[in-house]
A = this chain, B = another copy of it.
């Protein structure tokens, strides 16, 4: 979606590495109207076109695909790609229609660009799980490559939405990572109950006066089903509002 920052640079670097000297790296920049709910931040989503273009050039992108909305969607567009299981929980509950928009646009991008592989960040863990599911269920011949979350020095996950934060909100934003990390420590020390682990994270996050929790949940990393006790492949996930800005983060439990 553009508004590129150094985590995107890492995605490009991994793509570059995966492509090898003879491969080519394409980047798509498209603020996809289909994945924004009515009343969300579609209009105000940042679109620094010149900076993004320069960023891609510097990062070694071979092809920048930056279509206009009218090129991507006919006025009578009536076909969508829907995921009906993983997309119903977590982000999907808070943002109905969001993953339909993501699946549909990525299916289009896959058909237009025909990549051998596509790179997604682990910050958007649910998107990543859904992309893997879409590739499996629709047989796209595309390898999905996951890149660990890139963070600011204070632990805040890199996100284009961080720039919406006021100074005070930005100062408090590290509580999300801090809460998840503390909960993971508690799990490492033998705690297995989701309730205890989740409330450990919630307590830390709620200590920030401007934080409003949307959800904190312990889920299975593949199925995204809520779980009661820690098991292999458990993921602790959080979505937190600071003002109108909604940030997400996650941590894998030991």
Query: Which A residues are within 8 Å of any B CB, using their own CB?
Result: 74, 76-86, 103-104, 107-108, 111-112, 114, 133-134, 136-141, 223
CA distance A32 to B86 in the complex (A): 24
Neighbouring B residues of A103 by C-beta, 8 Å: 79
CA distance A80 to B80 in the complex (A): 8
Closest 3 CB pairs of A and B: A79-B137, A78-B85, A111-B139
Residue of B nearest to A78 (CB): B85
Could you list 15 examples of A-B contacts with CB < 8 Å? A74-B136, A74-B137, A76-B85, A76-B223, A78-B85, A78-B137, A79-B81, A79-B137, A79-B138, A80-B81, A80-B84, A81-B81, A104-B138, A107-B107, A108-B138
CA distance A139 to B76 in the complex (A): 14
Q: Provided the pairs A107-B138, A111-B141, A139-B112 are in contact, do residues A82 and B85 lie with their beta carbons within 8 angstroms?
A: no
Neighbouring B residues of A104 by C-beta, 8 Å: 138
CB <8 Å contact, B86 and A78:
yes
CA distance A152 to B137 in the complex (A): 38
Residue of B nearest to A83 (CB): B79
Neighbouring B residues of A80 by C-beta, 8 Å: 81-82, 84
Neighbouring B residues of A141 by C-beta, 8 Å: 111, 114
CB <8 Å contact, B138 and A111:
yes
CB <8 Å contact, B137 and A77:
yes
Residue of B nearest to A81 (CB): B81
CB <8 Å contact, A78 and B74:
no
Which of A103, A133, A137, A141 has the most chain B CB atoms closer than 10 A to its own CB? A137
Which of A79, A83, A139 has the most chain B CB atoms closer than 10 A to its own CB? A79
CA distance A80 to B85 in the complex (A): 11
Interchain nearest-CB distance for A154 vs B (Å): 37
Known: A78-B85, A79-B133. 13 other contacts (CB 8 A): A76-B85, A78-B86, A79-B82, A79-B83, A79-B134, A79-B137, A80-B84, A82-B82, A104-B138, A107-B138, A108-B139, A111-B140, A114-B141
Interchain nearest-CB distance for A162 vs B (Å): 31
CB <8 Å contact, A138 and B81:
yes
CA distance A111 to B107 in the complex (A): 11
CA distance A133 to B80 in the complex (A): 11
Neighbouring B residues of A112 by C-beta, 8 Å: 139
